[in-house]
């Protein structure tokens, strides 16, 4: 984390090369620990973007283990559950990290622009969760540890966080029959509002990308997570899962502001909302840090938080 602390810029293109350069050697040095975790790939939908990887809980003997999903970011246009070489341990490190914390850990791809429109990314979040619930026996057929699909947690980073929160804020999107299974949402540095009167001039996501995904910009405030929160019916708010709104200490200014605004609004609407700041991290570093031996505090916190919400 010493290298990361010396990166003074906050914008994503500026911090990405140095952050990857700092963490990749640390992850590669622990490659055997990462690839040593049992993992299997399944298809949960009709396209090539509908695949998910399941990492089996390590060090668990018999019984059942809670399920933790992770949805990466990428500005609605990029991202993969496993990055291409030479950085192909990235996100596998995260899957292995939470598996070693005792979770069945699921990393799912979702559709990207230009092949998706709102709320397609959130529909993919929903479909991957429902697929796991309905196919839990198949996933665990070669294991003596079953999936505890009554205790599901969902972590989302950046655009992935936007898709995750939208899944549960957009009325009728997530099946009510499965909602009690969702014991918590852990959001990390997501874009939750695009309103010019709330944000600094620096736009984290270009207007043309927002329009391509959300449709006409004049309708954006009703589709963004903050707008969905503001308009949500009371019945949806009353049954909403516990929520953590986390952000890196060195987020881009606009993303930091989005998170502060959304967290405050959520605390005024929902029953259980916590804020968490990942000290020393920039926007992209949290996912790269897990399994590296450095900067893992946020992952430990997320795992402990999820375990505290698990119902026997």
pLDDT-derived band at 134 (thresholds 50, 70, 90) equals: very high
Q: Which of 89, 82, 178, 88 is nearest to 125 (CA)?
A: 178
pLDDT more than 70, % of the chain: 100
pLDDT the model gives residue 200: 85
Structure tokens at 109: 């791809």
Mean pLDDT of the chain: 97
Q: Are 148 and 64 in contact (CB under 8 A)?
A: yes
pLDDT-derived band at 45 (thresholds 50, 70, 90) equals: very high
pLDDT the model gives residue 2: 78
pLDDT-derived band at 20 (thresholds 50, 70, 90) equals: very high
The half-sphere exposure of 294 on its side-chain side, counting CA atoms within 13 A, is: 17
β-strands 51-55, 104-108 pairing: antiparallel
Which pTM does this prediction carry? 0.98
What tens digit of pLDDT does each residue of 164-216 get?
Answer: 999 999 999 999 999 999 999 999 999 999 999 988 887 779 999 999 999 99
What tens digit of pLDDT does each residue of 89-119 get?
Answer: 999 999 999 999 999 999 999 999 999 999 9
pLDDT the model gives residue 201: 81
pLDDT the model gives residue 183: 99
What tens digit of pLDDT does each residue of 48-88 get?
Answer: 999 999 999 998 999 999 999 999 999 999 999 999 999 99
pLDDT (mean) for 115-129: 99
pLDDT-derived band at 152 (thresholds 50, 70, 90) equals: very high
For the chain, which domains are there?
2-309 (3.40.50.1820)
pLDDT the model gives residue 8: 85
Q: How many CB atoms lie within 10 A of CB 90?
A: 21
Q: Are 66 and 104 in contact (CB under 8 A)?
A: yes
Please report where in the chains the tokens 């999936």 appear, as a residue: 147
């Amino acid at each position: 984390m010493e290298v990361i602390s010396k990166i003074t810029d906050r914008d994503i293109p500026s911090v990405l090369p140095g952050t990857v350069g700092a963490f990749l050697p640390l992850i590669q040095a622990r490659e055997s620990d990462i690839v040593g975790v049992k993992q299997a790939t399944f298809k949960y939908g009709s396209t090539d973007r509908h695949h998910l990887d399941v990492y089996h809980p390590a060090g668990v003997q018999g019984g059942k283990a809670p399920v933790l999903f992770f949805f990466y970011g990428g500005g609605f246009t990029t991202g993969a559950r496993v990055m291409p070489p030479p950085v192909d341990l990235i996100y596998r490190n995260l899957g292995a990290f939470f598996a070693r914390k005792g979770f069945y850990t699921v990393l799912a791809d979702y559709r990207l622009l230009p092949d998706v429109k709102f709320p397609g990314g959130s529909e993919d979040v929903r479909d991957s969760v429902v697929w796991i619930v309905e196919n839990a026996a198949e996933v665990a057929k070669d294991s003596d540890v079953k999936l505890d699909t009554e205790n599901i947690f969902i972590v989302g980073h950046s655009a992935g966080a936007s898709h995750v929160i939208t899944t549960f804020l957009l009325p009728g999107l997530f099946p009510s029959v499965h909602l009690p299974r969702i014991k918590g949402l852990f959001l990390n540095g997501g874009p939750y509002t695009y309103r010019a009167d709330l944000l600094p001039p620096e736009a984290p996501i270009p207007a043309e990308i927002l329009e391509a995904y959300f449709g006409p910009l004049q309708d954006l405030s009703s589709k963004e997570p903050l707008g969905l929160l503001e308009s949500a019916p009371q019945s949806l708010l009353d049954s909403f899962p516990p929520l953590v709104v986390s952000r890196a200490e060195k987020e881009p200014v606009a993303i930091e502001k989005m998170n502060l605004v959304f967290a405050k609004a959520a605390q005024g609407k929902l029953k259980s909302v916590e804020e968490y700041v990942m000290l020393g991290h920039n926007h992209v570093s949290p996912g790269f840090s897990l399994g590296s031996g450095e900067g893992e505090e946020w992952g430990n916190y997320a795992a402990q938080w999820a375990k505290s919400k698990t119902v026997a």
